[in-house]
Each structure stands twice: as structure tokens, then as C-alpha cells.
């Protein structure tokens, strides 16, 4: 039973670590399915996390922090949309610029406003998302195996965690069972045909980047209002890039995104749990190697196990209307 308890604890950590990855990867799914490549997921998450931590501290309201995170993330998405859709600029350059600007701006503003080295002050209970205890979680805890799975693994997570997992089937339904989703995917494959049908390619792509901004805002809010008690410098720690890798690894399909993010989340949770642990035959692994493990394995998985991933045909290509 001790081994099973270790499994439960590692699975708990995997779910918590995977939550922002799932949200960010789904955010990227909407834009890339519409033909807009978005490497700025990292910057939008970081900006949202800072906005959430700052506003939640000032207002002592977790919902105001969440709304601020979504607002800032959507504004950053609209900046990316204006540069890459309206002005037909290079989408990679636009996304990288957002990442750099936000990384510096959050530290500067945090230091100017709160004088804590770029951090926001620690949040009280009212400024953070609590955990949700599922019905009968306490009474079923003593039931062997299933009780532990229900009480310790399925129960006791943040509302944003449950929202992230619910967004996977919701995203599938939106993309594959609604008119909006059909048009969105068509814009990413053949924008000329969509335009010929009298549908605005530019407006559809803007709606996609707005959806991306909303999901990245929730992901950033999770980092500062649920996983932590405030914002810290660089707290996304490359999660936006890992989410982008998970999106490619999943071949732009919502169901595969869930499993890819859980895999990357497991690698991160494993590295966190076993830092400084002495493994049999190997001994103690350097902390730096364990911290780099998720990123190393991400590269290995993408390079050797993904197979041929075919992105949307119009992805990364600005649309120029034929006259």
C-alpha cells in the first residue's frame, strides 16, 4: 500500500502541474487551427499571472484577479492579432516580442508597485482559489484503492483544475460539432475558400486569438491564485513552450492534448518529487539535471516519438485577399 500511496501522491502532483499546460495548449489549438501560429503563450500566461496576483491582492477578490488575468491576456492576444493578422507581420517575431516584453514588464511593474523584487505580496485566503471537496470524499477515504483514488486524487483540487479538464471535451465539441469550429478549421486549411463563401477570414482569426487569450488568462490565474499565493518573477518557467510542444506532440487534437500534457506534467512532477533522491544503482542525481529533465525529455519525445505531425496548411501564413 505504500507504493500505491506514492502513486497517488505523484498523480496528484501530475494533475496540478498539468492544469496550466492543458489550458495553454488548448489556447494554442484555437489559434493554430485558425492558421495563426502563436509562440507567445508563455508571455500571455506570465502577464495574466502578474495581473491576477496584483489585482487579487489590491481588491482581496479572487474573481477580480481572474477577470484581470483574462483581460490582460486577451489584450496581449489582440496585439498579436493586430501584428500578424491585420498587418500581416511575422507571427513568430510577434509572439517572441510579446514574451520578451512581458517578462521584463512584470518585473519592472512589480518592483515599482510592491517593492518586493518583482513579486506581488502574499495573498490571503479570500484572494486565492480554494479546493473543492467532492461529495462523500471523507466517508469513502477508508475504502481500499477506489476510496483513495476518489478522495485523494479526484477530490481536493482547485476549481480551475476541474475547468481545465472540462475544457478538453468542450474544445472538441466546439471545433468539431459547431459551425464556428467548422469555419475555424476551414480558415486554417484554406482561407481562400472561406473568403469565397462570404465569411470574413480576418474576423474568424481574431475570434480565435480572443479564445486563446481567455484560456491563457485562466492558465496564468491558476499559477498565481491557485498553485501559489501570488506572483513571482518568471513563474511560468517555460510552461508556455512546453504547452506548445504538447500541442505539436498531440497533432492538434484535443483528446491527444490531454494525454500529452499529463505526460509532460508527470515528468515535471517526477522531477520535483525526486530532487536529491538516491536511486538504486545510480545514486543521487544532481538537482540541476532533475530540474532540466522535463525539458530534455520534451525534446527527445518531439524528436523521436512524434512521427509526422502535419500542421494546418495555412498555419503561419498571413492571408492576403485576392482581388
Q: Which helix (H) or strand (E) holds 284?
A: strand 283-284
More confident residue, 111 or 6: 111
Angle at CA of residue 142, ends 137 and 144, nearest 5°: 110
Distance of alpha carbon 315 from alpha carbon 182, whole angstroms? 16
- Report yes or no: 64 and 129 within 8 Å, Cβ to Cβ: no
Distance of alpha carbon 266 from alpha carbon 14, whole angstroms? 5
Distance of alpha carbon 202 from alpha carbon 213, whole angstroms? 17
Distance of alpha carbon 237 from alpha carbon 239, whole angstroms? 6
Question: What is the number of other CB atoms lying within 10 angstroms of the CB of residue 21?
Answer: 28
Closest by CA to 318, choosing from 25, 37, 27, is 37
Instruction: Provide the residue range defining the domain that includes 162.
Output: 2-237
More confident residue, 24 or 308: 24
Chain-centroid distance, C-alpha 126? 24
Q: What is the number of domains present in the chain?
A: 1
Average pLDDT over residues 80-92: 92
Angle at CA of residue 73, ends 68 and 74, nearest 5°: 100
In a domain, 47, yes or no: yes
Query: Residue 311: pLDDT band by 50, 70, 90 thresholds?
Result: confident
In a domain, 89, yes or no: yes
In a domain, 149, yes or no: yes
* Burial environment of residue 112 by CB neighbours within 10 A (0 to 12, 13 to 18, 19 or more): exposed
In a domain, 314, yes or no: no
- pLDDT above 80: residue 172: yes
Q: What is the pLDDT at residue 315?
A: 77
Q: What is the pLDDT at residue 306?
A: 62
**Where do runs of H (alpha helix) occur along 197-238?**
201-222
Q: What is the pLDDT at residue 235?
A: 92
Tell me what the pLDDT averaged over the chain comes to: 88
Q: Which helix (H) or strand (E) holds 192?
A: helix 191-196
Least confident piece of the model among 215-229, 232-246, 308-322? 308-322
In a domain, 306, yes or no: no
Highest average pLDDT, of 27-31, 241-245, 264-268, 269-273, comes from: 27-31
* Burial environment of residue 146 by CB neighbours within 10 A (0 to 12, 13 to 18, 19 or more): exposed
Query: Residue 21: pLDDT band by 50, 70, 90 thresholds?
Result: very high
Q: DSSP 3-state assignment of 159?
A: helix
- Residue 284, φ and ψ in degrees, nearest 5: -80, 125
How confident is the model over 198-237, as pLDDT tens digits? 889 999 999 999 999 999 999 999 999 998 999 999 899 8
Report helix angle 62-81 to 201-222, nearest 10: 140
pTM: 0.93
How confident is the model over 93-122, as pLDDT tens digits? 999 999 999 999 999 999 999 988 888 999
Question: What is the number of other CB atoms lying within 10 angstroms of the CB of residue 280?
Answer: 5
- pLDDT above 80: residue 319: no
Q: Please list the residues that pair with 278 across neighbouring strands.
A: 284
In a domain, 146, yes or no: yes
Amino acid at each position: 500500500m505504500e507504493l500505491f500511496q506514492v502513486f497517488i501522491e505523484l498523480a496528484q502532483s501530475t494533475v496540478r502541474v498539468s492544469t496550466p499546460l492543458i489550458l495553454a495548449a488548448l489556447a494554442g489549438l484555437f489559434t493554430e487551427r485558425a492558421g495563426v501560429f502563436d509562440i507567445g503563450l508563455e508571455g500571455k500566461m506570465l502577464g495574466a499571472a502578474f495581473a491576477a496576483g496584483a489585482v487579487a491582492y489590491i481588491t482581496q477578490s479572487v474573481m477580480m484577479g481572474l477577470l484581470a488575468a483574462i483581460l490582460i491576456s486577451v489584450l496581449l492576444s489582440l496585439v498579436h492579432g493586430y501584428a500578424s493578422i491585420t498587418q500581416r507581420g511575422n507571427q513568430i517575431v510577434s509572439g517572441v516580442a510579446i514574451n520578451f516584453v512581458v517578462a521584463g514588464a512584470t518585473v519592472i511593474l512589480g518592483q515599482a508597485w510592491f517593492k518586493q523584487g518583482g513579486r506581488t505580496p502574499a495573498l490571503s485566503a479570500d484572494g486565492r482559489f480554494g479546493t473543492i471537496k467532492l461529495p462523500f470524499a471523507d466517508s469513502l477515504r477508508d475504502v481500499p484503492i477506489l476510496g483513495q483514488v476518489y478522495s485523494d486524487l479526484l477530490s481536493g483540487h482547485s476549481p480551475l483544475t476541474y475547468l481545465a479538464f472540462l475544457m478538453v471535451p468542450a474544445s472538441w465539441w466546439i471545433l468539431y460539432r459547431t459551425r464556428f469550429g467548422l469555419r475555424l478549421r476551414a480558415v486554417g486549411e484554406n482561407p481562400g475558400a472561406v473568403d469565397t463563401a462570404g465569411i470574413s477570414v480576418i474576423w474568424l482569426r481574431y475570434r480565435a486569438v480572443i479564445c486563446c487569450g481567455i484560456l491563457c488568462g485562466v492558465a496564468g490565474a491558476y499559477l498565481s491564485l491557485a498553485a501559489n499565493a501570488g506572483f513571482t518573477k518568471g513563474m511560468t518557467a517555460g510552461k508556455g513552450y512546453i504547452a506548445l510542444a504538447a500541442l505539436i506532440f498531440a497533432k492538434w487534437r484535443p483528446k491527444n492534448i490531454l494525454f500529452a500534457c499529463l505526460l509532460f506534467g508527470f515528468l515535471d512532477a517526477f522531477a520535483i518529487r525526486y530532487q536529491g533522491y538516491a536511486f538504486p544503482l545510480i545514486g543521487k542525481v544532481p538537482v540541476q539535471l532533475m530540474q532540466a529533465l522535463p525539458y530534455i525529455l520534451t525534446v527527445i519525445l518531439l524528436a523521436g516519438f512524434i512521427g509526422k505531425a502535419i500542421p494546418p496548411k495555412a498555419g503561419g501564413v498571413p492571408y492576403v485577399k485576392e482581388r
